[in-house]
Amino acid sequence: MGSKRTARSRAWIARQEKDPYVREAKARAYRSRAVFKLEQLDKKDSLFRRGMVVVDLGAAPGSWSQYAAQKVGPEGFVVALDRLNFPPIPGVFQITGDFTGADIQQKLNDALGARQPDLVISDLAPNLSGVQSVDQAAMEDLVIAASRFAWSCLKPKGVLVAKLFEGSHAMGVRNQISCLFRDCQIRKPPASRSHSAEIYLVTGGPIRQTITPLAP
């Protein structure tokens, strides 16, 4: 068991050393190579503008928040949430806790106050068990929770970006989220490793139909 784990961590270290995104993240002082997935999604879908209000879910160690804070500038607002503590990022309001808890979502809403987000970015991912069906189900719960939260608070033309896992569940999840948001697109940014099941959903604004009462 121990030697298997050592072999796995050696392989991980070797892969990290060879990875050009890891080197570039270091050179540009980003905390993780994950930043390049967001940068590539941004290049494709023009996600960010200065002055935006952004919520970053599953933010640790913080590279997406670093990128968001740079893009929105000091006139914007970034709130980042993770169950893990991570070192502060200038210009980012951080919350520690489990996103699936109602108390933590209330903390997020309190931090936003009267501000409505323009963009909710979710890189939330469960700790992987290695059992595909278990991991898919845990991912599904997170992405559905993120999309419900985003639906409840985004501006009418706001955008949700959320990670999910490709597989038998993905179409069902996409269909559920399509009921809440216009124009759900699936993206696989080049920085996302080809052997990884992760894909990203990029949506248009939330669908909040106003029901016209029937005439008497």
Ligand X SMILES: C[S@@+](CC[C@H](N)C(=O)[O-])C[C@H]1O[C@@H](n2cnc3c(N)ncnc32)[C@H](O)[C@@H]1O
Cα–chain center distance at 195:
19
Among 48, 62, 69, 192, binds ligand X (CB under 6 A): 62
Q: Is 18 a catalytic residue?
A: no
CB 164 within 8 A of CB 199: yes
Q: Are 161 and 202 in contact (CB under 8 A)?
A: yes
Provide the 3-class DSSP secondary structure of residue 146.
helix
Rounded to 5 degrees, φ, ψ at 69 are: -65, -40
Assess 58 for contact with ligand X (CB under 6 A).
yes
Question: Which residues in 140-169 contact ligand X (CB under 6 A)?
Answer: 142
Q: How far is the CB of 210 from ligand X (least distance, A)?
A: 32
Identified binder of ligand X from the candidate list 83, 107, 169, 174, rule CB under 6 A: 83
Minimum CB distance to ligand X smaller for 83 or for 188: 83
59 binds ligand X, rule: CB under 6 A: yes
C-alpha–C-alpha distance, residues 35 and 69, integer Å? 12
Q: Which of residues 98-137 bind ligand X (CB under 6 A)?
A: 98-100, 123-126
- Segment interacting with ligand X, rule: CB under 6 A, options 57-65, 129-137, 166-174, 186-194: 57-65
Which residue from 22, 45, 61, 189 is in contact with ligand X, where contact means CB under 6 A? Answer: 61
Rg over alpha carbons for the chain, rounded to the nearest Å, is 18
Nearer to ligand X, 64 or 200 (CB): 64
Going from the C-alpha of 133 to that of each of 87, 128, 166, 171, 192, the distances in angstroms are: 33, 11, 12, 15, 21
Q: Summarize as ranges the residues that interact with ligand X (CB under 6 A).
A: 31-32, 34-35, 58-64, 82-84, 98-100, 123-126, 142
